[in-house]
Chains A and B, each alone.
Chain A
Amino acid sequence: MTRFVTRRLFSAILLLFATSVVVFGIFEVIPSYNPARAIAGRNATATTVAQVSEKFGFDKPIYVQYGNTMKLIFTGQVIDYSDNLNVVDQFSQRFPVTLSLVVPAAVLWMLAAIVLGSLSALRAGGLLDRGLMVAAIVGVSIPVFLLAAVLLYAFAFRLTWFPNTGYSPLASNPAQWAYHLVLPWVAIAALSIGFYSRVLRSNALDVINQDFVRTARAKGLSRRQVFVRHVLRSSLMPIVTLFGLDFATLLGGAALVTETVFNLPGIGQYEATAIGNLDVPPIMVGAMFTAFFVVLFSALSDVVYALLDPRIRLNG
């Protein structure tokens, strides 16, 4: 177990380091990109640009700039170039919005996928099974921002069942919070349900023919008990890995298109704005933030693996 944790920790640090270097590098090696000019504004004189360049340290060698930026990030003092806001503050203020968007959406799609996937495995070839196959392939063919736009048009503007955009904090009014977030939740969850339940279904069908399932049945467990305790348990494993990664990238800001369409002030929206302004610090913090969650959740999914399947030990 200690070895497992050390290895995970080591690869986590390595990945975070590599991520920050790559993002920094991308913006650094681009020819004719001058952040000082971006900060100084369109009509700045050469002297102003030079002053800004000196103030932010853009005239120093790359590795010094990298070191400075990293120091600022870890002391929580890094400031974005376009609005002079503290990036770490922005992330911590906006994170609850992203959590409110991503967590319920994830619960929704996992629950739906488990229920639908199990049902379609139990009646393979049935109507639900074929329907889910279509849903899966359609789901991977639609970009989430398009579904978001369609939902916005149909349910917010045409039918006016839901508010069109905006966010209402959970603490002030839970009902309003949910009311504002229903469409974004559906937009994120809908596209994944088909795919996830297909994966669950094909794994359940693989497992159902294995010896331990027959043994469980032979020792007198009911069909329901066998399915829930044995079949479902081991066919959840591939889903857990998939889910860990999807959830991690969504938390790290991959929900940026959804947040943009629905005008939700989460970290994804902040990243999207930063991308538009070529504002390096938020993009860098965002990428590292995502990498952190990716590492965290891939480690967690390994632990869940071990819990689900006693044959797997964490020594490897």
Chain B
Amino acid sequence: MALDSEDRGAAGIVVSAAPGGLLAEGRHPPAIGPWRLAERRLRRNKVALVFLALFVVLVALCLLAPVYSSYIAHIGPNTNNITGTVDVGGQQQNVVSLSGVPIGPTWGSHYLLGADTNGRDLAVRLLYGGRTSLLIGAIATLIIMVLGTLVGLIAGYFRGVADFILRPLMELIWSFPVVILGVALGTALALGGIGPVKGNSVYIPAFIIGVVYIPYLGKPIRGEVLRLRHQDFIDAARVQGMGPWRIMFSEILPNIASTIIVFVPLVLAYSILLEAYLSFLGAGVQAPNASWGTLISDGLPYIQTTPTYSLIPGAMLVLTVLSVNVVGDGVRDALDPRAQVRVRT
């Protein structure tokens, strides 16, 4: 297997997607497009479908957070209740004991998973935290997809000055350990905010993750564009008088679409994971908002007495990332059975 710096990025993405064009010309009626073929292959992949269903259930649970909060738990995600009491098996118990220890899981409608030191309901925070984690992952993925594709297209197609500026920039972000870069940005921005955006906004971690992971898509896309730009159909388009932007978006983009789609679930999984890392280190989601990462971190001091505090948000996080990864694997196999895309942190 040939491994050159073009295909293989430092942080471990290996892309060698075979070109599309699965259609054989011949007399095999009726012709089926490559997208339909991919869809069929994905439908046949039962494991991927099961995990897709799991992902949908998890997302739905998190989206229903306000319903749980107002109709079952009757408490908001950021509502403190240090002096309150809760009914456990007919007895009133303090939500936060006099020595400051929060109550463990009651397995009832109030404080299902227990409370934190401020007397906030952990089950409500788990669902709202999931919403935050998923939202950040989604925004970051969107940023990476749009900017990564754009950067890859521009650097690969124009080459010259654009490539000379963009490529070293990507290399720099790449050779930086992602966690350290994200954490440095995160702590600094959490303190100052960006312009009108406040420091504790959830858009800041989303933005940071988006920036940090741009090369993960930008580098492979650039490689693909470099490979395509000298092919006959591009020359034909140029001879017809098409401008560079039109060639990029109407000729090259459709040809790299399957590569981009393969990256969507992988990037989403890594964005959610990086958010958890940053939040765990205090450089991601800021108080009073919660995310799965902050909940795991908050629960660590209680791991001996109340392991559910850390481990249930942890389980939600792992199930989500795992289902995205399995679906991503299925999508990759479906779109191009010969492609080898591997991503890791």
Given contacts A26-B185, A30-B188, contact A261 B322 (CB under 8 A): no
Q: Give chain A interface residues in 1-32, CB to chain B under 8 Å.
A: 15, 18-19, 22-23, 26-27, 30-32
Any chain B CB within 8 A of the CB of A199? yes
Question: Are the CB atoms of A150 and B311 closer together than 8 Å?
Answer: yes
Bound complex: CA of A254 vs CA of B14, how far in Å?
22
17 A-B residue pairs with Cβ-Cβ distance under 8 Å, sorted by A, are A19-B172, A30-B191, A30-B192, A31-B195, A138-B322, A143-B317, A145-B297, A146-B318, A149-B310, A153-B311, A238-B1, A238-B3, A238-B14, A257-B281, A261-B300, A272-B281, A275-B187
Q: Give chain A interface residues in 251-302, CB to chain B under 8 Å.
A: 252-254, 256-257, 260-261, 271-272, 275-276, 278, 283, 286-287, 290-291, 294, 298
A33: chain B residues at CB < 8 Å are: 188, 191-192
Any chain A CB within 8 A of the CB of B166? no
Q: Give chain B interface residues in 286-343, CB to chain A under 8 Å.
A: 296-297, 300, 303-304, 307, 310-311, 314, 317-318, 321-322, 325-326, 329, 340, 342-343
Given contacts A30-B189, A283-B180, 12 further A-B contacts (CB under 8 A): A27-B188, A33-B191, A145-B277, A146-B318, A203-B1, A242-B12, A253-B177, A271-B180, A275-B183, A275-B184, A278-B191, A287-B181
Question: Are the CB atoms of B184 and A245 closer together than 8 Å?
Answer: no
Question: Are the CB atoms of A257 and B187 closer together than 8 Å?
Answer: no
B14: chain A residues at CB < 8 Å are: 238
Question: Are the CB atoms of B180 and A32 closer together than 8 Å?
Answer: no
Any chain B CB within 8 A of the CB of A195? yes
Considering the complex, give the chain A residue whose CB is closest to the CB of B191.
A33
Question: Are the CB atoms of A256 and B281 closer together than 8 Å?
Answer: yes
Any chain A CB within 8 A of the CB of B276? yes
Q: Give chain B interface residues in 162-180, CB to chain A under 8 Å.
A: 172, 175-177, 179-180
Any chain B CB within 8 A of the CB of A100? no
Bound complex: CA of A49 vs CA of B179, how far in Å?
32
Bound complex: CA of A30 vs CA of B192, how far in Å?
6
Bound complex: CA of A232 vs CA of B45, how far in Å?
32
Query: What are the interface flags for A216-231 relative to B under an 8 Å C-beta threshold, 1 for contact and 0 otherwise?
Result: 0000000000000000
Considering the complex, give the chain A residue whose CB is closest to the CB of B273.
A143
Bound complex: CA of A287 vs CA of B321, how far in Å?
28
Any chain B CB within 8 A of the CB of A168? no
B343: chain A residues at CB < 8 Å are: 140
Any chain B CB within 8 A of the CB of A82? no
Bound complex: CA of A275 vs CA of B189, how far in Å?
12
Within the complex, what minimum Cβ distance (angstroms) separates B44 from chain A?
A: 18
What is the interface of chain B mostly: helix, strand, loop, or mixed? helix
B297: chain A residues at CB < 8 Å are: 145
Within the complex, what minimum Cβ distance (angstroms) separates B166 from chain A?
A: 15
Any chain B CB within 8 A of the CB of A206? yes
Any chain B CB within 8 A of the CB of A65? no
Given contacts A137-B326, A145-B277, A256-B179, contact A27 B3 (CB under 8 A): no
In this complex, the interface size class of chain A, counting residues with CB under 8 Å from chain B, is: 35 or more
Which listed residue, B3, B193, B280, B317, touches A257 by the CB 8 Å rule? B280
Question: Are the CB atoms of A152 and B303 closer together than 8 Å?
Answer: yes
Within the complex, what minimum Cβ distance (angstroms) separates A282 from chain B?
A: 11
A286: chain B residues at CB < 8 Å are: 180
Given contacts A242-B12, A254-B177, contact A141 B321 (CB under 8 A): yes
Bound complex: CA of A96 vs CA of B303, how far in Å?
28
A32: chain B residues at CB < 8 Å are: 191-193
Any chain A CB within 8 A of the CB of B344? yes
Which listed residue, B12, B177, B189, B314, touches A146 by the CB 8 Å rule? B314
Any chain A CB within 8 A of the CB of B250? no
Question: Are the CB atoms of B8 and A137 closer together than 8 Å?
Answer: no
Within the complex, what minimum Cβ distance (angstroms) separates B39 from chain A?
A: 22
Bound complex: CA of A206 vs CA of B303, how far in Å?
45
Bound complex: CA of A271 vs CA of B177, how far in Å?
13
Given contacts A30-B192, A137-B325, A257-B277, contact A149 B314 (CB under 8 A): yes
Any chain B CB within 8 A of the CB of A249? yes
Any chain A CB within 8 A of the CB of B269? yes
B105: chain A residues at CB < 8 Å are: none
Query: What are the interface flags for B261-279 relative to A under an 8 Å C-beta threshold, 1 for contact and 0 otherwise?
Result: 0000000010001001100
Given contacts A33-B192, A256-B281, contact A157 B10 (CB under 8 A): no
Bound complex: CA of A27 vs CA of B191, how far in Å?
10
